[in-house]
Chain A
């Protein structure tokens, strides 16, 4: 589904990603871990098409198509979704109106008929229930005055509504209380199927108890320095990053 090869990207003169290789197949869950500032959010921003970052070389192929040739909204229409580490406030736009705009635009671009207000509302209700969201939430303005946890839950709610093929969850667990973490993880699991894939970026093993990864990758200085199965996360939890980052630093300097 997603194939990233030798991806190098940065901001102006600063190199952040120094050659990323990553393959994700339909039905898989990949976890990306790594120290602060290692480039996790940058990688997700580049996949989503944030134009603040310049891609120096490499490729990102998604479902056989070169993502780097597409604008961010076109990538979204193809089924790429990013749950932001820091969701953005859009004052004055209610959650329901925002989602209506997003879904209408996507359907239009895909040549589908517009969704009726009734169906849209029905779907929103269903997904709200799935994520145990408070009444009245739909009429609040996008992320305006939301608590940290509410913002994260709102990201997953949008994911549930948009039904992406590839979801990248950038530290969705941080800011969620214990109950909320379970609810959100449970929601993500319910949305999982054989045709979609998830990339989970996290610092904590805890989330991976609920969303069980098929692969765990460690990102350091813009490179994936180690990949493994779900046991790798447990090992990292116990030993920290030092033991692998030191080795990697020796190799790349």
Chain B
């Protein structure tokens, strides 16, 4: 007889499968001393040849951060990082700027190959322009010329600070103010790099803009900063994805993403997140504290789609401020936790404009001894007449050692608005697995199939190529290399 595995044992085995992307790239890197003080902030700014106004922005943020306390309201437990024991700047040593991906460091290329993503192939097949962030500095930007023809700016934010200071000054920190929270203040002081994107009036960006992130230097905090502005009547779809190499010490990741959708604009922002989750004892995973927020002006729309499979600890609430009348906010999320992973994630939809609409579809999957929480806030202001929200929060439990929690907060301040909330918790049924088995589909495959079906509404929101990759990630994080 084949090795007898009950569903529980199988889950156990799946749970203990090793992280597939646990490897590091051997690239020379330029880093500074551990620790954080005013001099660190000055050093980062000078290493990046920043203008004076940017340094001032950072110093002010540093002052604010010093006065703030780390939040502890989320349903997660983790050892608080020692902020003096972190390296705040690390850049791969790249002598010259790259014009094409062919000039990429062969080591980097190998890394991407290991991830199963051939950049050239991806470029050719999907017309994706990549702004690759390795550690903290962008090392390659492609399709720049094509985008430039349309007046689209897509570049590392460090370049934008120098080349488009008027745009950066106008929007940076307007959606996520420095003092918004502990991590946004920290990020504002020490952010290393990230992406900047501007879509001019009336322009529909003809390709998906994409960034692949990787943490690559031991003990380096990652402080990405992304600013995306869609001017009136424009459209853009932006993809963010990441995998991280295996580490023994916890790695802190505190990114800030700001989206601005001006009148009649639409932004689709998709994330596949696969930071290193730690080993089966939870050692060495990434701490992911992210502040993502978008503001919608009149008749505009922002959709957040995320597939969260990684990190030891995740703290993340992509949100929409529906400021303009008739604006639309959407949040589609799949969050998987396994082993000892903890995730506290969800969204905030703040309705200010009349007839504003929001939709929330959140799917949690918990396996192993993990803990997943959905935390959502739907806030409808007095003036947001006739606004509507629909929320659906489902959790799927695998095995009986994991936990799932839902914290929906609803505040409605006018009587013409409607809020609907649905929540379900389910387990994969033995009868479903037997049914699949009877048709010749093995248990492991059956679980993957059922999980995919469960996440379908969210996966469908992702661009095609990305959906395939996301499916692969779901399978990896739940099944690993069993067998």
In the complex, the answer to whether A90 meets B436 with C-beta atoms within 8 Å is yes
> Is B66 part of the binding interface, using a Cβ–Cβ cutoff of 8 Å?
no
Q: Which residues of B contact A70 (CB under 8 A)?
A: 1-2
Which listed segment binds A: B164-172, B177-185, B191-199, B445-453?
B445-453
Interface residues on A, range: 20 to 34
Shortest beta-carbon distance, B317 to chain A, in Å?
Answer: 25
In the complex, the answer to whether B430 meets A52 with C-beta atoms within 8 Å is yes
In the complex, the answer to whether B434 meets A76 with C-beta atoms within 8 Å is no
Q: Which residues of A contact B47 (CB under 8 A)?
A: none
In the complex, the answer to whether B432 meets A90 with C-beta atoms within 8 Å is yes
Cβ-closest chain A residue relative to B451: A92
> Is A72 part of the binding interface, using a Cβ–Cβ cutoff of 8 Å?
yes
Given B1, B431, B445, which contacts A88 in the complex, CB threshold below 8 Å?
Answer: B431
Distance, CA A36 to CA B131, complexed state (A): 66
Shortest beta-carbon distance, A168 to chain B, in Å?
Answer: 10
Q: Which residues of B contact A89 (CB under 8 A)?
A: 432
Q: Which residues of B contact A69 (CB under 8 A)?
A: 1
Shortest beta-carbon distance, B441 to chain A, in Å?
Answer: 5
> Is B72 part of the binding interface, using a Cβ–Cβ cutoff of 8 Å?
no
> Is A77 part of the binding interface, using a Cβ–Cβ cutoff of 8 Å?
yes
Tell me the B402-451 residues at the A interface (CB within 8 Å): 429-432, 434-443, 445, 449-450
Q: Which of B435, B439, B455, B456 has the most CB of A within 10 A?
A: B439
In the complex, the answer to whether B437 meets A88 with C-beta atoms within 8 Å is no
Tell me the A52-106 residues at the B interface (CB within 8 Å): 52, 69-74, 76-77, 81-82, 84, 87-93, 97-98, 101-103, 105-106
In the complex, the answer to whether A73 meets B455 with C-beta atoms within 8 Å is no
Q: Which residues of B contact A102 (CB under 8 A)?
A: 436, 439-441
Interface residues on B, range: 20 to 34
In the complex, the answer to whether A76 meets B435 with C-beta atoms within 8 Å is no
Q: Which residues of B contact A76 (CB under 8 A)?
A: 437-440
Distance, CA A106 to CA B445, complexed state (A): 12
Given B435, B440, B443, which contacts A84 in the complex, CB threshold below 8 Å?
Answer: B435
Residue-wise interface mask of B (141-167) relative to A, using a CB-CB cutoff of 8 A (1 in contact, 0 not): 000000000000000000000000000
Sort A-B residue pairs by CB-CB distance and give the 4 closest, nearest first: A92-B453, A72-B437, A76-B440, A88-B435
Using a CB–CB cutoff of 8 Å, the interface residues on chain A facing chain B are 48-52, 69-74, 76-77, 81-82, 84, 87-93, 97-98, 101-103, 105-106, 109, 141, 158, 162
Q: Can you list 30 contacts pairing A with B, beta carbon distance less than 8 Å?
A: A51-B434, A52-B430, A70-B1, A71-B1, A72-B437, A73-B438, A74-B2, A76-B440, A81-B438, A82-B438, A84-B435, A87-B435, A88-B429, A88-B431, A88-B434, A90-B436, A90-B450, A91-B453, A92-B450, A92-B454, A93-B450, A98-B449, A102-B436, A102-B441, A105-B441, A105-B442, A105-B445, A106-B440, A158-B439, A162-B440
